[in-house]
Amino acid sequence: MKRLALLVGACAVILATPTVQAQSAPPATLGKIMQSGVLRVCTPGDYKPFSFMKAPDEFEGLDVDLMNSLSAALGAKPQFIKTSWANLLPDFAAGKCDIAVGGISISLPRQKQVYFSDGYMVNGKTPITLCKNAKKFQSIEAINRPTVRVIANPGGSNETFAKTKLPNAKLTIHSDNLTIFDEIIKGHADVFVTEAAEAIVQSRLHPELCAVNPAKPLQYAEMGYMLPSGDEVFKHFVDQWLHLAKATGEYAQVSGKWLGK
């Protein structure tokens, strides 16, 4: 009996050892970042105020500042990788980056393929148009007409919204998100439905344009950060960092810098 007890005890130690080692080993994404000292960040870089590529490999914006903060919390440096809205999910699935940012809406279709951080901003769909036409485009019903020329950028939630919510409007897909607002100013389109934050910022940059009821968007939406599917530990780390950034006032300071509030 004594020998049996000793054998059982030895087996218990052997079986327990791999579990202890597995618990102490860094998880995939977090361990890779800590080892390399680099946080790879995919971003379209064409969406003010979240992320804007002002020169090759030079980005600025609300999400850029916050990724600098997240990188510091990880003991790493950010490496921003240019992508497009159409290639955002394929690039992320291909493992080109550890996190994707830049004003990304949390959506159920995207959630099927990736994880998201907790939402950090409510940012629903808002029309932007010439100020003289603002009263004409107060609702989806007012925009969803054959006589209304809607414009949208490809590959993201703006295109999805236009195609699903505005099927009766005359839709033009404009490939360059940076010049899409000029199309409205030039009279080539009547209205663009985008997130409230972008509509507000662009209306400040272009006095001819007005954001239509940004406090009461046409469709509810939240912004979040795209994370690797299945990596619970990295998601928890990012969520906790975001929670602390909001609790300490860091997020409010960065948001105020780019949104003016």
CA angle 223, 156, 112 (to 5 degrees): 70
Q: What pLDDT shows up at residue 150?
A: 98
**Domain 125-211: top CATH class:** alpha beta
Beta pairing class for 149-152 and 170-173: parallel
State residue 157 phi and psi, 5-degree precision: -70, -25
Q: How do the pLDDT tens digits run along the chain, 261 residues long?
A: 444 344 334 444 333 444 433 344 445 999 999 999 999 999 999 998 999 999 998 999 999 999 999 999 999 999 999 999 989 999 999 999 999 999 999 999 999 999 999 999 998 999 999 999 999 999 999 999 999 999 999 988 899 999 999 999 999 999 888 899 999 999 999 999 999 999 999 999 999 999 999 999 999 989 999 999 999 999 999 999 999 999 999 999 999 999 886
Q: Does domain 29-122+222-259 have CATH number 3.30.1240.10?
A: no
Q: CA nearest 86: which of 193, 175, 192?
A: 175
Question: Where along the chain do the CATH 3.40.190.10 domains lie?
Answer: 29-122+222-259, 125-211
Flag whether the pTM goes above 0.75: yes
Q: What pLDDT shows up at residue 261?
A: 62
* Cα–Cα distance for residue pair 52/7, rounded to 1 Å: 64
Q: What pLDDT shows up at residue 13?
A: 37
* Cα–Cα distance for residue pair 51/24, rounded to 1 Å: 36
Q: What pLDDT shows up at residue 155?
A: 84
Q: What pLDDT shows up at residue 27?
A: 53
Q: C-alpha 4: how far from its chain's center?
A: 59
* Cα–Cα distance for residue pair 214/204, rounded to 1 Å: 13
> E strands of the chain, at which residues?
38-43, 46-47, 51-55, 58-60, 77-82, 99-100, 115-116, 121-122, 125-130, 149-152, 170-173, 191-195, 209-211, 222-223, 226-227
Q: C-alpha 209: how far from its chain's center?
A: 24
User: Which DSSP category does 4 fall into?
Assistant: H
Q: CA nearest 80: which of 181, 66, 163, 196?
A: 66
DSSP structure string for 51-70:
EEEEETTEEESHHHHHHHHH
Q: What pLDDT shows up at residue 177?
A: 83
